[in-house]
């Protein structure tokens, strides 16, 4: 069976797909039809619902800082912006900041990043070891050269609330959602033609957005496009500690171990060593990283965490861009109508408002209006010019 044509088809209805749908439907220059195709409407395996929901401005890339500054502005106004029939989502924003710790050899990079963040409008305090000790007495400063604490606009939200807020609002603006799977993408003479869905068959479309999260590389491949974005497993561990650390920020050790409070408990994460960090589809729980890396590191850095009790764990997939750990955004330079919104490598939740708005601007106006994100274009991959993000947590 062949369905009627659509102006825009978005493949993937996670936070990115729903954000793009919302911003495009709200665009005054756009009055076409929008279809979001999502194969798993329960969102059981997607990156969004397994995310930590963190939002920060502590990045090394100018565009990432600007995107997250818009992210926080959107988060603060989301209840009103995403309201339907007078009811908007509660994103449960906890503004407890990020605390990035640097070893003595990392101090100059930390200082330079902090300078760029401040220049662009982010708020944070650069802390020498003495200041760090007096502000966070529960922390061991051993091996720490300096730190930056985000004094405002950083913390974490409920990822599902943002996803469903975008989705509900997009529907109210006329966006159609379909439970189906994109299995083929047709392109001819440098132009996208349409998409084939496993259930609904062929759908002709003027534009298609790849918003398939960790599976973005597989969806690009359907159109014959090489995109180095694949699922990389990240284990999150949940633990209890009898001693409560009041207003603890999301704390990142120089080793890469990160930890924050979650309700009355704590959660911790670390990226696996590079040689073990492979593309993978499974969501099996694995406790080795907690025993071997996380717990020993936390016990040294936060002495009250010597006595903790592991109570659970969950696996999720980063939408990992192995080329330079940064987003790939915008229209394919040689296949008109094929758009990327991929590769956020662990910081896509907070960037979904900016990425959604940017993609909508490109489709509706053929240019970036709010933030120039040309640097994130696919062309850099074709030309072998990585734009590396240093602060990937
Ligand atoms: C453990 C963990 C912690 C994280 N912490 C943070 C954080 O603190 N801050 C932050 O900003 N980001 C964080 N992230 C990253 C963030 O969650 C992702 O970057 C973001 O959710 C990506 O959204 P998405 O919509 O692109 O992908 P997804 O949420 O994965 O959605 C993609 C959707 O596409 C669908 N799909 C795939 N292929 C097809 C197809 N062929 N046809 C139809 N549908 C298809 C999938 O079913 C899926 O629902 C974290 C991620 C993980 C795993």
In residues, how long is the chain?
Answer: 393
Could you report the per-residue pLDDT of 66-114, keeping only the tens digit for each? 999 999 999 999 999 999 999 999 999 999 999 999 999 999 999 999 9
- The number of the ligand 1 atom at minimal distance from the alpha carbon of 71 is 11
Report if residue 27 sits inside a domain.
yes
1 burial level (CB within 10 Å; 0-12, 13-18, 19+): exposed
Q: How many CB atoms lie within 10 A of CB 252?
A: 24
Q: Are residues 242 and 281 part of one domain?
A: yes
To test the pocket of ligand 1, the residue of 52, 98, 235 to mutate (highest count of ligand atoms within 8 Å of its CB) is 52
Q: Are residues 131 and 15 part of one domain?
A: no
Q: Are residues 247 and 114 part of one domain?
A: yes
Report if residue 389 sits inside a domain.
no
- The number of the ligand 1 atom at minimal distance from the alpha carbon of 40 is 47
**Ligand 1 contacts CB of residue 117 (under 6 A):** no
Q: What percent of the chain stands above pLDDT 90? A: 96
Q: Are residues 171 and 44 part of one domain?
A: yes
The C-alpha atoms of residue 268 and residue 262 are separated, in whole angstroms, by 10
121 within 8 A of 113, measured Cβ to Cβ: no
Could you report the per-residue pLDDT of 40-68, keeping only the tens digit for each? 999 999 999 999 999 999 999 999 999 99
- The number of the ligand 1 atom at minimal distance from the alpha carbon of 349 is 11
Could you report the per-residue pLDDT of 271-295, keeping only the tens digit for each? 999 899 999 999 999 999 999 999 9
11 within 8 A of 195, measured Cβ to Cβ: yes
Considering only residues 1 and 220, tell me which one the structure prediction assigns the higher pLDDT: 220
Classified as helix, coil or strand, 251 is strand
Q: What is the pLDDT of the chain when averaged over all its residues? A: 96
The C-alpha atoms of residue 68 and residue 72 are separated, in whole angstroms, by 6
The C-alpha atoms of residue 336 and residue 127 are separated, in whole angstroms, by 48
Mean pLDDT in residue range 215-223 = 98
**Ligand 1 contacts CB of residue 249 (under 6 A):** no
**Ligand 1 contacts CB of residue 236 (under 6 A):** yes
Distance 344 CA to ligand 1 centre (A): 9
Q: Are residues 163 and 78 part of one domain?
A: yes
Distance of CA 203 to the CA centre of its chain: 29
Residue 10 has pLDDT above 50, yes or no: yes
Residue 2 has pLDDT above 60, yes or no: no
pLDDT value at position 243?
Answer: 94
Residue 15 has pLDDT above 60, yes or no: yes
Report if residue 1 sits inside a domain.
no
**Ligand 1 contacts CB of residue 52 (under 6 A):** yes
pTM of the model: 0.97
The C-alpha atoms of residue 257 and residue 275 are separated, in whole angstroms, by 17
pLDDT value at position 1?
Answer: 42
Mean pLDDT in residue range 116-141 = 97
The C-alpha atoms of residue 139 and residue 155 are separated, in whole angstroms, by 19
Report if residue 79 sits inside a domain.
yes
Q: Are residues 307 and 181 part of one domain?
A: no
Q: Are residues 247 and 305 part of one domain?
A: yes
Mean pLDDT in residue range 118-129 = 97
Q: Are residues 310 and 163 part of one domain?
A: no
CATH number for the domain including 201?
3.50.50.60
**For residue 34, what is the enclosing H or E element?**
strand 34-38
pLDDT value at position 192?
Answer: 97
Question: What's 275-302 look like in SS3?
Answer: HHCCECCCCCCCCHHHHHHHHHHHHHHC
Q: Are residues 285 and 188 part of one domain?
A: no
Report if residue 387 sits inside a domain.
no
Ordered DSSP codes for 69-92: HHHHHHHHHHHHHT-BTTB-----
pLDDT value at position 64?
Answer: 97
Domain holding 293, by residue range, is 98-153+233-316
- The number of the ligand 1 atom at minimal distance from the alpha carbon of 17 is 25
Could you report the per-residue pLDDT of 287-338, keeping only the tens digit for each? 999 999 999 999 999 999 999 999 999 999 999 999 999 999 999 999 999 9
pLDDT value at position 391?
Answer: 79
pLDDT value at position 3?
Answer: 59
Distance 213 CA to ligand 1 centre (A): 4
pLDDT value at position 393?
Answer: 78
Q: Are residues 328 and 312 part of one domain?
A: no
Report if residue 392 sits inside a domain.
no
Q: How many domains would you assign to the chain? A: 2
Last residue of a domain, one of 266, 286, 316: 316
**Ligand 1 contacts CB of residue 51 (under 6 A):** yes
**Ligand 1 contacts CB of residue 344 (under 6 A):** yes
CATH number for the domain including 120?
3.30.9.10
């Amino acid at each position: 069976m062949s369905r009627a044509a659509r102006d825009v088809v978005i493949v993937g209805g996670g936070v990115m797909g729903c954000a793009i749908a919302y911003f495009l439907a709200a665009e005054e220059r756009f009055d076409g039809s929008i279809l979001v195709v999502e194969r798993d409407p329960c969102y059981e395996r997607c990156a969004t619902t397994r995310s930590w929901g963190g939002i920060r401005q502590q990045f090394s890339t100018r565009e990432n800082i600007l995107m997250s500054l818009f992210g926080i502005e959107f988060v603060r106004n989301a209840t009103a912006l995403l309201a339907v029939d007078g009811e908007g989502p509660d994103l449960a924003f906890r503004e407890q900041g990020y605390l990035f710790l640097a070893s003595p050899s990392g101090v100059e990079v930390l200082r330079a990043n902090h300078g760029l963040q401040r220049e662009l409008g982010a708020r944070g305090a650069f802390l020498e070891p003495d200041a760090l000790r007096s502000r966070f007495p529960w922390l061991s400063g051993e091996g720490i050269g300096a730190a930056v604490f985000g004094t405002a606009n950083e913390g974490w939200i409920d990822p599902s609330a943002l996803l469903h807020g975008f989705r509900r609002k997009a529907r109210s603006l006329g966006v159609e959602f379909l439970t189906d799977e994109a299995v083929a993408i047709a392109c001819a003479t440098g132009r996208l033609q349409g998409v084939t869905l496993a259930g609904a068959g062929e759908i002709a479309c003027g534009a298609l957005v790849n918003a398939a999260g960790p599976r973005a590389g597989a969806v690009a491949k359907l159109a014959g496009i090489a995109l180095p974005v694949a699922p990389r497993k990240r284990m999150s561990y949940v633990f209890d500690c009898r001693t409560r650390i009041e207003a603890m920020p999301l704390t990142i050790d120089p080793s890469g171990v990160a930890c924050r409070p979650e309700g009355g408990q704590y959660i911790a994460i670390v990226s696996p060593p590079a040689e073990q960090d492979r593309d993978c589809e499974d969501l099996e729980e694995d406790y080795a990283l907690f025993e071997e890396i996380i717990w020993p590191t936390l016990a040294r850095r936060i002495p009250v965490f010597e006595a903790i009790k592991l109570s659970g764990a969950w696996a999720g997939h980063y939408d990992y861009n192995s080329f330079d750990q940064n987003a790939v955004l915008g229209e394919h330079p040689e296949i008109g109508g094929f758009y990327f919104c991929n590769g956020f490598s662990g910081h896509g939740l907070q960037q979904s408002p900016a990425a959604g708005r940017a993609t909508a601007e490109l489709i509706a106006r053929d240019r970036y209006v709010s933030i120039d994100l040309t640097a994130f274009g696919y062309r850099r991959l074709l030309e072998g010019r990585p734009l590396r993000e240093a602060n990937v947590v």
